[in-house]
Every structure is written in structure tokens, then in C-alpha cells.
Amino acid sequence: MQYITIETLCRDHLRICNAQGICFFNYLGISVFLFLLTGCSEPTIQKFEGPAQGTTYHISYWSKKSVDPKSIEESVAHELDAIDKTLSNYRPDSVIEVFNSTENTESQDVGNEIVSLVRIAKTVYQATQGCYDLTTEPLFKLWGFKGEAPAIPQQAAIDKALTQVGMDKLEVVDDTHLRKGQADLKVDLSSIAQGYSVAKISRVLEQHDITDYLVEIGGELQTRGQKPDAQPWRIALERPLPGEQHIQKRITMPKDGVMAVMTSGTYNHYFDYQGQRYSHILDARTGRPITHNLVSVTVIHDDPTVADAWDTGLLCLGQSAGIQAANHAHIPALFIQQQNNQLLESRSDALNGLDRVVIE
């Protein structure tokens, strides 16, 4: 993570503005510039941050009531640890990894959190005709996106990996149980877990009677309310081109409630081979990285979990099919295509009708 400071005319406020400066985050191809525009006489925003889920989190909040910052930070840390023990694909003792390592087709108790995420993911899986899929771990490993050296696999290897892929092979038994239709099926929750984590941490703040906050994990974020000077929370989206750290869009969040911004992009997690770029966004139907020119999708939604799944699903589909799917499901989404050195923007119908959010 690297910081780029905001220049300010308020010399005495320079330290605060720097601490709340533009932050650049990168996780699994998702990049967002985040900045909090505060007045030079408003030092009352509380901030804390830390590592989480292979990336970092940043939380900003304020309250008219007396709150205990230490208690809030401890509650957030406790919640993040609980999420990690349930959803993390990087620790063998997590609930999801115990499910993955148990290679049978019997019903397994995974708890209501994982089942609820699978249900949301299945909705996006069906809406994207299988492009978005939580069971693509064999393909990620094959292409080297799981920490191994990137490689171009043979078609025979792709075909073999595809036999282990498909959310149609994952059955929701009830509110707490899943069943594999194929014993070696693996479920990777990373494309939806950060949005869910943002929602859970936001609830922690609300349990401490905090109604004005910004919660960000790995560039995925949710806001509620406003800043102490009655100004809205504002964020900025990075220009979705490799190696660039410039602002593409500024988003003014609503002051009258909760709103999440989730972005998926092709421009930070990829490798080049013989003049061809291979993104980490894999089409589960073909077993290959996407090849279309859609480079970024931002979903703005009041449910960060839903938004997190949909931004990846729409990016996987590409511009034409993505717009159609977003319009059919009433998903507010901003699409950015790259044509040569030009970036072309388009919006879903639901985003055009979302007057609570200003994008400029």
C-alpha cells in the first residue's frame, strides 16, 4: 500500500489531511482511491486501520455520543478474526476449508453465514450463465493465480480442471448445510467475502451507536451518514489502467443512509506472455481469462455483499452481456471499457436512476 498526500492550504491541518489522504489499495485486481475530504476545523473523525484478509482495512467514524475508541477497535478485531475462522481459504482450520478438504458427498454443517453467501453467489452464477462461479479454485491454481508462477496451461489440463468446476454441483441443503455433488469440489469465497466483511464491520460500529462512518477493506467500502461538518463522504475511483494512479471518477455518497461501492478490475492482477495479457478474472465456462475490453465494473448498492459478487460477475460477462444482466437484475453498475488508449463509460439503468449518489 502506498499513500499519496492531498495538498491543502491549511498549513496547520496538513498532518490531519495527510493522515486522511488518498490511499491506494490493490487486492485481487481491485483498485480504489479513497479519500476523505474534511474541513480544516474538523479534527473529530476517529480513524484506525490494520491488516486483514491478506490486505488492509481502514475505518473512519465519528459520533455525537461518547464512545470508547479502544472498545470499538477491539470489537472490530474480534469480528475480523471470527470472519477469518469462518471464510478464509488460506487457513486449513477455517470452516470453509474444512468443508473443502472433506471429500465426500454427504451433507455438511457449515453454518448460516457460508450458506447465505452461497445463496447470493448462486443468484449471480445463474444470472451470468455460469461465468461467475465460486468453485474455480482448480483453474486459478492451473493459471498460477494462487501464488504459483503464472503459466499458460494446455487445453487438456484446462478441460480436466473444468471437470471440478461448477456451482450446479454445490447444493444448499438448508440454512446451515451444504452438500457437494462431486467429492473433490472446492469453494473459494474471496470474490464475495470482502463485501460481507465490510457489512459485518459496519454492524459492529452500529452496535456501538455509531451512525456516521466509512468502512473499507481492500478497497471495498461502505458509508453511512456524513462527516462532522455535515458534508457527505466522498470517494474516488482509480483510472483502470495498469501502472496509473489517477482519479477516474469521484463519488459523493448519500447522507441519508447506507451505501456500498465495490469495484472489480482487470488492470492490477494479470500477467503478460508473448504480447497477450491474461487477467485473473476467469470465465468459469471456458476455464480461461476473459479477453474482452471491459476493464472495470463498479457496483453501487445498499448491500455490500450483493455488490461484491455482482461486480465480479458483470466484469466476467463483458460490456454487452454485462449491461443486459445488470439491467435485468436492477443492479446499479458503472462499466468502463478500454479501446486503445481511450476509456469509455456506460451505466446500467438502475445506476442512472440512483439519484442518491452523485458520480462526476
* pLDDT tens-digit readout, 241-273: 877 678 899 999 999 999 999 999 987 777 777
275-300 residues labelled b (16+ CB within 10 A) or e (exposed): eeebbbbbbbbebbbbebebbbbbbb
Tell me the C-alpha distance between 313 and 326, whole Å.
10
Q: Which helix (H) or strand (E) holds 328?
A: helix 319-329
Cα–Cα distances (Å) from 156 to 153, 270, 278, in that order, read 8, 22, 19
pLDDT digits (tens, 9 = 90+) for 117-170: 999 999 999 999 999 999 999 999 999 887 667 889 999 999 999 999 999 999
Domains in the chain with CATH codes: 1-360 (3.10.520.10)
Residues 6+ apart with CB under 8 A from 274: none
Taking each helix axis from N to C terminus, what angle separates 319-329 and 304-317, rounded to the nearest 10 degrees? 150
Q: Give burial (CB, 10 Å; 0-12/13-18/19+) of 180.
A: buried
Nearest 5°: the CA angle 297, 82, 281 is: 25
Percent of the chain with pLDDT over 70: 87
Among 80-84, 93-97, 267-271, 343-347, the minimum mean pLDDT is found in 267-271
The three cell numbers locating residue 124: 449471480
38-76 residue pLDDT tens: 444 454 899 999 999 889 999 999 999 999 999 999 999
Name the nearest CA neighbour of 263 among 191, 326, 360: 191
- How many CA atoms does the CB half-sphere of 297 hold within 13 Å? 29
Q: So what's the pLDDT on residue 192?
A: 97
Nearest to 216 by CA among 21, 2, 25, 62: 25
Per-residue model confidence (pLDDT) at position 148: 64
pLDDT tens readout for residues 214-230: 999 999 999 999 999 99
β 288-289/2-4 pair status: unpaired
Percent of residues, the chain, with pLDDT higher than 90: 76
Could you give the CA distance from residue 6 to residue 2 in angstroms, rounded to a whole number?
13
Write down the H helix ranges in 63-213. Answer: 69-87, 95-101, 111-127, 137-143, 155-162, 190-207
pLDDT for residue 151: 82
| 8 A C-beta contact, residue 57 and residue 291 | no
Q: Is the four-CA dihedral 316, 318, 320, 326 of positive or negative sign?
A: positive
Q: Measuring CA to CA, how many Å separate 126 from each of 89, 262, 306, 326?
A: 23, 20, 14, 13
CB atoms within 10 A of CB 195: 29
Q: What pLDDT does residue 150 have? A: 82
pLDDT digits 0-9 by tens, 167-188: 999 999 999 999 999 999 999 9
Q: Which residue has the higher pLDDT, 186 or 15?
A: 186
Phi and psi at residue 281, in whole multiples of 5°? Answer: -80, 110
List, in order, residues 6 or more apart from 205 with CB less than 8 Å away. 59, 61, 72, 76, 213, 215
Under the banding of pLDDT at 50, 70 and 90, the label for residue 22 is very low
